Amino acid sequence: MSSVLRYPRLLASLVKIEHTVFALPFAYVGAFLALDSVPSGRELLWLTVALIGARSLAMALNRLIDAEIDSRNPRTAARELPRGALRRLDVLLFCGASLALFLVAVFQLEPVVRWLWPIPVAAFVLYPYLKRWTWLSHLWLGVVDGLAPVGAWAAVTNELPWEAWALGAAVAVWVAGFDVLYALFDLEIDRAQALHSLPARFGVPATFAASRALHAATVGLLVLVGVGLALGPLYWVGVASVAALLLYEHLIVSPRDLRRLDMAFFTMNGVISLALFAFVLADVVA
């Protein structure tokens, strides 16, 4: 039995399946706000399948393209490809299967997404290369994740009003804001390997300032969405919760104290996405 489960376990670890909690709730938020109600079971099913396929493809491509870089970084050298637990062919096949899953799901949803699907796929391929060229890679990662609620909105309505883009922008700057902090883990190795990141380019204090500005923009954009859609009080409680959680995230880490950076990155951001989704759900069913 253990040998049968070996590859599924390795592939789940490769794509950090548990981190889907960062993106899936925001995709649901996009669909729920688009309809101002709960989507049908069929829509929820295919949205979920599409997101899992897309995210698995994005992560697997990232690991495949960055395998050599990862092998030179003590923090990432134990990942599945650098340590030889998976072969490049294994990951390529997984990428193909993830793309197929994504496409099957996309073609069960509204027609507009059947034409737009190459955009996120191209963004997935480009992202891993950007750290070789520019520190703006953090913003690109945010854009990639921000496509989740935008795509979900279009997938259930066949429309893309400005509120959908504002929600996507909120997710984009939220993700970029915590990714610049995450890059602090690799500050010295990035400089040694001439890789580009905001911390490597501008230093630790500037990284924290940028993260705080991006997260302030997150709250501002969520406010803009709420005003544009004339949402109810529970949505505003959700926005206030996001603001409070982001504030707490920035209070537990500082340029002089990075000990709780893992908690700020993984735990708090998972709580943020789930909290906003919970209040949006409560608002649309109230």
- Name residue 85's amino acid: A
pLDDT tens by residue, 83-141: 989 999 999 999 999 999 999 999 999 999 999 999 999 999 999 999 999 999 999 99
Give the SS3 label for residue 79.
coil
pLDDT value of residue 1: 44
Q: pLDDT band for 264, please (50, 70, 90 cuts).
A: low
**Nearest partner of 136 among 6, 193, 144, judged by Cα:** 144
pLDDT tens by residue, 40-63: 999 999 999 999 999 999 999 999
**Please, is 167 exposed, middle or buried when counting C-beta atoms within 10 Å of its C-beta (0-12, 13-18, 19+)?**
buried
pLDDT value of residue 5: 65
pLDDT surpasses 70 at 2: no
Beta-bridged to residue 254, according to DSSP, are: 257
Q: pTM (2 decimals)?
A: 0.93
> CA of 52: how far to CAs of 92, 169, 176, 195, in Å?
17, 21, 21, 29
- Domain spanning 2-285 has what CATH number? 1.10.357.140
